[in-house]
A and B are shown apart, each in its own frame.
Chain A
Amino acid sequence: MAMNSQGRPTAPAPASQAAASDKTFSGNKALQIEETLIFEKDAFGSTGVDLAEPKNIPSRLGDLRRNDDIGLPGLSEPEAMRHFVRLSQKNYAIDMGPFTLGSCTMKHNPRLNEKMARLPGFSDIHPLQPISTVQGALELIATLSHWLTEMTGMPAVAMSPKAGAHGELCGMMAIKAALEARGEAGTRVRVLAPESAHGTNPATAVQCGFKVDSIPADASGRVDFEAFKAKLGPDVAGIMVTNPNTCGLFERDIRAIADAVHEAGGYFYCDGANFNAIAGKVRPGDLGIDAMHINLHKTFSTPHGGGGPGSGPTVLSAALAPFAPIPFVVQQNGKFDLVETRREAGSSDGAEGANTFGRMTAFHGQMGMFVRALSYMLSHGADGLRQASEDAVLNANYVLARLKAELTPAFDGHCMHEALFDDRFLKDTDIETIDFAKAMIDEGYHPMTMYFPLVVKGAMLIEPTESESRQELDQFCDSLNALARKAKAGDTEDFKIAPKFAPRRRLDETSAARKPVLRWTPTVARSEAAE
């Protein structure tokens, strides 16, 4: 069987020895207030929205009118407000403290972005209104496109991808379409990707019908160039490389990699998840790439929102630009227009020439995220964007330098925007990476990315971003160093039962997966639903 033993242990921690004095009658703990599900509030017959009574005019629903009980409770406004505010208080957030998830780029989300996105001129317009009534919206998309192409040194950008992984799909579909146009889609079926790649890379390549061939890392944590070259051949469609890579390192051989893959007849897909390390400093177009998605929610500060929505515009080289998805914005005689059909875009079932690979989403992309990203970019400007990247790299190296005292860096030398550690410093302590991370929660920090990248054992990937002050970083490093000393001293009990102070202790993921309970059901039917 295929062994993937990398990962986090998921067995629940032993039951706590909480002293009786820790318990309250209500179950609440001062500011931490327990909150039931909306379905448990006995509110199935009420509503919190004042709507006019329907007039019961003759309906045109025929015999399709819904008669069954839907099963939705309705809360009054104060109840609903309290419900969601109580829930919110069980979440950690960037606005509360350092959120050093490597590869995820949890930087400050400016509130000007939110204000701008809510201007009715952006938020209250329909995607299918006449083009003449949305000229400002198309102008905004064109302006953001201009900023993105300038920043990346690439000739074109596809704006419609809805998230990073969707952008990856866009780039790989453009590559597939380009190969088809060359008549080589049937023969070029192999995509090379480093072992350290994000899981989305192989998943995307397979979704495009490619086979993935893994490239090992060298001792410095970068693509093993010789091993990579040995894998090139006439069946290679391209390579997917994250740069800076998932170990937080810049791929020194990037130009040689680009040249070699081009010489072999393939394309270079660059995973732009870590563009925030080099934005304003380096244009990926100068490095020889053919496609790269940009996570607006990482590099350009649109909020992560507990898992979305994202936005993944994808820049394309001149070789791939003709295959870009529809729709896209064009400008003619001072007016903006949208190219929405394959035929207008010049497709095989229409005119000659270019050959878009088609449509990826219903409308024009994540407009709300475009406004936020442009608001951030205009605020920073070219000078500020460069400074932000420099500060992100500076902060990461500062953390690396300060944590070297007690933790073990995975690789020698400096890093880019994130510092990678392994679990060697926990050797013989009986503490694993996950215990260390959970102990960070009790110290008031969101854990770093754990057990990723897969090439490093017990990996801890720390990305502070440019949003942290020096004082905040010092406090963070002092806490982590102290935790490491405590672990090494054999004082392990607190790690094993951590977190103690969070709204919940460690959760039993095993039983959640064995008998999935994915929705609330009335008590009587509960045991059946779990089957």
Chain B
Amino acid sequence: MRYLPLSPADRQQMLGVIGVKKIDDLFSDVPVDALNADIGLPDHAGELEVERQLGAMAAKNQTASSGPFFVGAGAYKHHVPATADHIIQRSEFLTSYTPYQPEIAQGTLQYLFEFQTQVAALTGMEVANASMYDGSTACAEAALMARRITKRSKVILSGGLHPHYAAVTRTNSELVGDSVDVADATPSGTEDLTGLIDENTSCVIVQTPDVFGNIHDVTDLAQVAHEKGALLIVAFTEVVSLGAVKSPGAMGADIVVGEGQSIGNGLNFGGPYVGLFATRQKYVRHMPGRLCGETLDADGQRGFVLTLSTREQHIRRDKATSNICTNSGLCALAFTVHMTLLGEVGIRRLAMLNHEAACKTADAISALAGIELVTEQFFNEFTVRLPKPAHEIVETLAEKGILAGVPGNRLWPHEEALHNLLVIAATECTRDEDISALKNALEETLVEAV
């Protein structure tokens, strides 16, 4: 077996040093009838066989790059510079552990410090942590953090929050006994949550751009929340939007959470992704997840360490702020590398290219008879209402090699009023001919439908 260095002779010699006859003597605490149970699985295979087997599965999937692609709603198709994937495959990053021994982990620690700074800058906040599992779990953790800070027990979720984010938050908050109010979905983005906030509200979670694509000014909402002693949590699923749209920090958010996949990371069928989490300096000790901080070594040289770890499970145990252990290290590294290449100049340009691609797509297809553009102000994603259930059209277009977007029934399976909606995303990868292909295919399908 190519991954195992010991030879049969090594094993025999080592058993002798240990002072036992056979390997199962070392398993003598295992109940006899449970040892060496027959496992109905095939035996080992060479690289070639494994490549063929997995390659066959991979070949059955329709990839995002294989045709016009407009699927978003929480994960986005972007171009990632080759450098990012090379760096994350370097042994010293790929095969290292959580940097608990800072003297020999400055590489990981320094990029985490850079990552935290980049995330804080993008979100317009004061501090960010070293990443979470993904945007949805970051969102749920933010609600729990607001609970710790305010010592209140009611969470209000905007109807524009990605329904999966809402579901994850609900799972976690209800577990600790909080009540979770979810506002109705308003595709046009005219929701007003201020009336729902009361003296028992720990936080309001609002997404911008929301799941329909609407961008929101949450300044007033922040003010009302603060007047009532509640926190405003702003979520996003498309981090590239922060290169073009006013930052949540500038609008008064107390906690900002979101998905960082778009920068540095591929679609990967949903994971691994990288959750971003930023807040105000005054709340830093209530934050979940790992934090990297600057300090000096014994020679007075600058270095970095994991810090404030007394919040964490391995020390605080049953009083930890969260049970989180892992962050999303390599995905955070991919984010840092990509963002380091982009810089402010690049992220702004990238954001505007995304926005313009979405505007062009919206203009093209909303010109079609029977299609109504629902979102007015948006970044790189928008929603249209079709004359029939969107998933039927999405299926038809998929057969033509066009992945047209996310149909309403996939996001709101039980709300039929939303099933004619189609959420469409465009990015810098979207070409004019992709837009034409989408437009023509939609037109054809709608004519057939009539």
Contact = CB atoms under 8 A, between A and B. Distances in A.
Chains A and B touch each other in the complex, with CB atoms below 8 Å apart = yes
A453 B378 CA distance: 52
Contacts of B34: 282-283, 286-287
A181 interface: no
Most buried by B among A93, A153, A176: A93
Nearest to B98: A307
Given A137-B269, A309-B326, A401 B17 contact: yes
A516 interface: yes
B299 A15 contact: yes
Contacts of B6: 391, 394-395, 466, 469-470
Interface string B94-107: 11111101111111
Most buried by A among B35, B41, B177: B41
B340 A48 contact: yes
Interface in B312-335: 312-320, 322-333
18 contacts: A15-B298, A38-B340, A81-B83, A121-B58, A127-B269, A129-B403, A150-B40, A250-B27, A280-B39, A283-B34, A305-B329, A308-B272, A308-B331, A374-B54, A381-B42, A384-B3, A518-B291, A519-B117
B160 interface: no
B99 A371 contact: no
Given A512-B294, A518-B116, A200 B50 contact: no
B114 A59 contact: no
A177 to B, nearest CB: 10
Contact of B4 (A93, A341, A374, A384): A384
Contacts of A137: 57, 61, 269
Contact of A367 (B268, B296, B325, B379): B268
A136 to B, nearest CB: 3
A99 B95 CA distance: 10
Nearest to A447: B101
Given A130-B394, A394-B6, A505-B103, A12 B175 contact: no
Contacts of B35: 281-282
B20 A414 contact: yes
A307 B307 contact: no
A365 B413 CA distance: 20
Contact of A72 (B270, B296, B343): B343
Given A125-B62, A391-B11, A89 B318 contact: no
B271 A48 contact: no
Given A137-B269, A503-B103, 20 more contacts: A48-B342, A66-B246, A72-B122, A72-B347, A88-B90, A94-B91, A126-B77, A129-B398, A165-B325, A173-B175, A203-B322, A307-B326, A308-B272, A308-B327, A362-B74, A364-B271, A400-B18, A446-B97, A446-B104, A499-B104
B176 interface: yes
Interface stretch (B198-206, B224-232, B355-363, B436-444): B355-363
Given A48-B340, A62-B377, A101-B97, A91 B349 contact: no
A-B pairs with lowest CB-CB distance, top 5: A74-B343, A121-B58, A363-B270, A136-B60, A127-B270
Interface string A105-126: 0101110101110111111111
B104 A466 contact: no
A109 B330 CA distance: 14
A154 to B, nearest CB: 12
A531 B37 CA distance: 60
Interface string B288-303: 0011111111111101
A202 interface: yes
B116 A519 contact: yes
Interface residues on A, range: 35 or more
B2 to A, nearest CB: 8
B337 interface: yes
Most buried by B among A68, A77, A153, A380: A380
Contact of B110 (A37, A400, A470, A502): A37
B195 interface: no
Contacts of A360: 137, 168, 171
B26 A380 contact: no
A93 B95 contact: yes
A182 interface: no
Most buried by A among B29, B329, B331: B29
A200 B325 contact: yes
Given A121-B61, A128-B71, A306-B96, A391 B4 contact: yes
Contacts, number: 712
Nearest to B15: A394
Given A281-B36, A359-B171, A378 B53 contact: yes
Nearest to B300: A15
B63 interface: yes
B113 interface: yes
Interface string B1-30: 111111000110111011110010111111
A282 B40 CA distance: 13
B267 interface: yes
Nearest to B81: A49
Nearest to A87: B107
A44 B347 CA distance: 12
B92 interface: yes
A363 B75 contact: yes
A221 to B, nearest CB: 11
B314 A517 contact: no
Contacts of A38: 114, 340
A74 B75 CA distance: 24
Contacts of A63: 217
A204 interface: yes
B112 to A, nearest CB: 8
Interface residues on B, range: 35 or more
B398 A133 contact: yes
A446 to B, nearest CB: 7
Nearest to B395: A130
Contacts of B353: 51-52, 54
Contact of A306 (B56, B177, B330, B428): B330
Contacts of B403: 126, 129-130, 133
Interface stretch (A206-214, A261-269, A313-321, A483-491): A206-214
Given A127-B270, A173-B175, A380-B1, A283 B37 contact: yes
Given A150-B41, A303-B95, A343-B413, A129 B71 contact: yes
Contacts of A414: 18, 20, 25-26, 28
A120 B69 CA distance: 14
A249 interface: yes
Contact of A511 (B101, B242, B295, B411): B295
A46 B345 contact: yes
Contact of B50 (A85, A252, A378, A402): A378
Interface in B364-400: 376-379, 391, 394-395, 398
B410 A47 contact: no
A325 to B, nearest CB: 8
A134 B339 contact: no
Nearest to B2: A379
A128 B75 contact: yes
Contact of B327 (A61, A307, A387): A307
A368 interface: yes
Most buried by A among B41, B267, B323, B350: B323
B190 interface: no
Contacts of A112: 47, 50-51
A310 B46 CA distance: 25
Interface string A501-526: 01111111101110011111000000
Contacts of A406: none
B269 A122 contact: yes
B266 A121 contact: no
B103 A72 contact: no
A371 B293 contact: no
A260 interface: no
Given A164-B325, A203-B317, A378-B53, A504 B346 contact: no
Given A203-B313, A516-B284, A303 B94 contact: yes
Contacts of B310: 513
